[in-house]
Amino acid sequence: MSEGAVKKEEKPRKFQAIRGTRDLLPPETALWNRVEQTAHEVFATFGFGEIRVPIFESTDLFARSIGAETDVVSKEMYTFGGFAEFSAKVGEGRMEGMLSEMSPEEMISLRPEATASVCRAYIEHNMQQLPQPVKLYYMGPMFRRERPQKGRYRQFYQIGAEVLGGSDAPAIDAEVIEMVMTFFDRLGLQGVQLDINSIGDRNCRPQYVELLRAALLKVKDKLGPDSQRRIETNPLRVLDSKLESEQAIIATLPRIADHLCEDCATHYAAVKHQLEIRGVIYRENWRLVRGLDYYMRTTFEITAKGLGSQNAVCGGGRYDGLVELLGGPPTKGIGFAIGEDRLILSLQESGKGAISADRDVYIAWMGERAHATAIRAAKDLRKAGFSVELPPVEQKFGKALGQADKLGAKYALILGDNEVSEGLWTLKTLADGSQVKYTEPDLLEYLRKQRAL
């Protein structure tokens, strides 16, 4: 007898969603759909087309683009063996040490973000031959093994966009930012704050980083262990620190704006001017450096109300050079990613996440003939776009009206023997309890008019 059969008597295990993941349920999913639909509409008005990229890619793609030293790549990716290798080794009973035996080319990872995938797709499909720039947007789940907390999950959702190819005209940076702000405005997001910065390029950033490192070494003793370590690994990230005791010291550090090369300084000034022409309100934040390696020049971050410490809803910036780094032609690039979970949370916290009632019409029917009429009525109402609940078995009118109330229906359509034989249907408005009789066409007409109000 197999082991499974012996354990059969035991109480079955109660499964729960894995830590850091969660189910999104109705009615909240209606809000998710509204947000996504708004993104489709707004981005289309800016000439962006949707791209859908795979959930997993070669580990190497992320390591090379995001940077092997970043937390995202070195600590947070869900990585496993490529399928052929995996099954071969499982078949041989050699699970242990399997990952360490594999070369990076054989490994695949769940995507921690989508910019790398979009760049890979741009190269793979020779999109440089299309009219430039190519403007793409995406939405979907991303995966990072971070410490879960409010607004931070291991499976979370991003809505993002990328502009690839063409020039690096500052108007492109400004228009991408204008597009996100338009999207947030359309959703009614509250307390939106846009921070911008320029982090220079290959010409000027290395010198600034050295200057910063030298300045940090002088105050090393006054810094916490994380920042002390970053002096060596990535001094720019010290500027990200939220540690209270470090704030006064950070305020004295050299600022990149004073050390940009001429081209970067000109570009940054023009981006600001372009934002002003578009009426986009921004705040300059010299400490905004962004966590991922591939950014250069323009970086931006947007925060919103009601999110506590994880208040960034959008991060983005310019990444000229990334496509080339991934084996493509020299290509300009800029993009952003919105954290959809946080966006939804902020809308809910500020009362902008209200979703209309689930059902328009609940059909309360009694009797066989009324059932047949109810089925036809449901079909016609649904065809006209109304949401209809048709109970599968007969129930007393009192109980049916109670159910209609619980489901938040706006109307109850009452169909009994009288209604069917008279050809006059009773419509009860649940909010005020009023009842009116209509012929079938009049009823549809009435509901249509109400919906248009």
Binding site for ligand AMP (CB under 6 A): 113, 144, 146, 151-153, 156, 158, 291, 312-315, 337, 339, 341-342
If DSSP codes are grouped into helix, strand and coil, which group holds residue 318? strand
Nearer to ligand AMP by Cβ, of 337 and 388: the residue is 337
User: Nearest 5°: CA angle at 15, between 12 and 20?
Assistant: 165
Least distance in angstroms from the C-beta of 144 to ligand AMP: 5
Beta bridge partners of residue 100, listed in sequence order:
none
Q: CA-to-CA distance for 161 and 86, rounded, in angstroms?
A: 34
Report DSSP state, residue 243.
-
Nearer Cβ to ligand AMP (341/389): 341
- Residue 142: CB minimum distance to ligand AMP, A: 7
User: At closest approach, how far in Å is the CB of 230 from ligand AMP?
Assistant: 17
* Residue (of 279, 313, 319) closest to 299 by Cα position: 319
Instruction: Give the nearer residue to ligand AMP in terms of CB position, either 151 or 328.
Output: 151
Which contiguous run of DSSP H or E holds residue 426? strand 425-429
d(CA 253, CA 306): 31
CB 275 within 8 A of CB 177: yes
Quote the least distance from Cβ 140 to ligand AMP, whole Å: 12
User: Whole-number minimum distance, CB 213 to ligand AMP, in Å?
Assistant: 24
Decide whether 200 or 335 has the Cβ nearer to ligand AMP.
335
Name the residue with the smallest CB distance to ligand AMP: 339
Q: Shortest Cβ distance from residue 315 to ligand AMP (Å)?
A: 3
In terms of Cβ atoms closer than 10 Å to its own Cβ (0-12, 13-18, 19+), residue 196 is buried
Q: Which is nearer to ligand AMP, 291 or 391 (CB)?
A: 291
- Which stretches does DSSP call E strand in 122-209? 134-143, 155-164, 193-198
* Of residues 82 and 291, the one with the C-beta less far from ligand AMP: 291
In 3D space, the residue among 173, 116, 170, 163 whose CA is nearest the CA of residue 294 turns out to be: 116
CB neighbour list of residue 393: distance below 8 Å, 6 or more residues apart:
none
> Considering the complex, what minimum distance in angstroms separates the CB of residue 207 from ligand AMP?
25
> Helix, strand, coil shares of the chain as percentages rounded to 5?
45, 20, 35
What is the CB neighbour count within 10 angstroms for residue 143?
21
Q: Give the integer Cα–Cα distance in Å for 111 and 400.
A: 48
Please state the closest distance from residue 312 (CB atom) to ligand AMP, in A: 4
Name the residue nearer to ligand AMP (CB basis): 133 or 335. Answer: 335
Residues 221/227/229/231 CA torsion (nearest 10 deg) = -80
Nearer Cβ to ligand AMP, position 141 or 367?
141
- Smallest distance from ligand AMP to CB 158, Å: 5
Is the distance from CB of 306 to CB of 264 less than 8 angstroms? no
The arrangement of strands across the sheet holding 107-110 comes to 56-58, 107-110, 79-81
Q: Which is nearer to ligand AMP, 254 or 291 (CB)?
A: 291
Decide whether 290 or 371 has the Cβ nearer to ligand AMP.
290
The span from the CA of 346 to the CA of 151, in Å, is 10
- Identify which of residues 341 and 419 has a Cβ nearer to ligand AMP in the complex: 341
Separation of alpha carbons 28 and 176, rounded Å: 28
> Residue 192 in contact with residue 280, Cβ under 8 Å?
no
Nearer to ligand AMP, 70 or 373 (CB): 70
| Closest distance to ligand AMP from the beta carbon of 22 (Å) | 11
Rounded Cα gap, residues 186 and 178, in angstroms = 12
